[in-house]
Amino acid sequence: MPVLVVAATGMELGSALKVQVDAPQGRVFELSAFGRPVLALVTGIGVVNSALALGRALERRDVSGVLSLGVAGSFDLAAHPLGSVRLATEEIWPEFGLLPSGQCAADARGLGFSLNGVAVSDEAAIFERLVWDAHAGARAMGLNPAGLACAASLTVSGVTADPARARELFQRFGAGLENMEGFALAYAARLAGTPFAELRAVSNAVGARPPEAWDLPGALAALGRAAQQILAP
């Protein structure tokens, strides 16, 4: 079975796979990536688009796993500099739960419900964190993750544009990266029982706005190199 390669935008998918992407958002299509036949999907930006698009795709297609490709912000440029590429080991969604006034993130257990409908006391209950073995997941779908550095990632609906909020999120969760789709994609794959891998290239410092501490072209180029390594047969 083929790997399903997903990205939020055609720009990210095209840059990573070195192809021209003309397919509309939400439609699965076939292509050859570095000599490997794959299925591809542009989900659209954000958790809603990502969950809906990937959920539909996994219902309709049999795949060996899901590989998410995209750019991300770095909470710590010393550890994850511009242009570096990281394999995600964890996704955190700080917006699920009960959000008290003045807090940077919600209390995931504050509502008394889990995301997946499992009793909150059950060890299978999912709240604001999903953790997986990144290298094992990649190898399970026939990919080559050797040599790729790892990082925890945090998913938001609104990109952090304030340095103070960036510091608060980093202090509370300790994630290395910020993105807008990862948790939704990992969650959809988890519910489907499908192996999942997420590759992110650092395009900016979290809390900064262009042009300060941004290098999107460099990140897209780095993403392409890493995608070739992990996908090449």
Q: Where does 1-99 have alpha helices with state H?
A: 10-17, 47-60
Do 15 and 220 form a contact (C-beta atoms < 8 A)? Answer: yes
Fold topology of 3-86+131-146+180-231: Rossmann fold (3.40.50)
Which segment of 38-42, 95-99, 103-107, 204-208 scores lowest on mean pLDDT? 103-107
- What confidence category does residue 232 fall into, taking pLDDT thresholds of 50, 70 and 90? confident
Do 33 and 227 form a contact (C-beta atoms < 8 A)? Answer: yes
Per domain, the residue ranges of the chain are 3-86+131-146+180-231
Per-residue model confidence as pLDDT tens digits over 92-132 = 999 998 888 878 787 888 889 999 999 999 999 999 999 99
Per-residue model confidence as pLDDT tens digits over 129-159 = 999 999 999 999 999 999 999 999 999 999 9
> Tokens 């300060």 belong to which residue?
212
- What confidence category does residue 20 fall into, taking pLDDT thresholds of 50, 70 and 90? confident
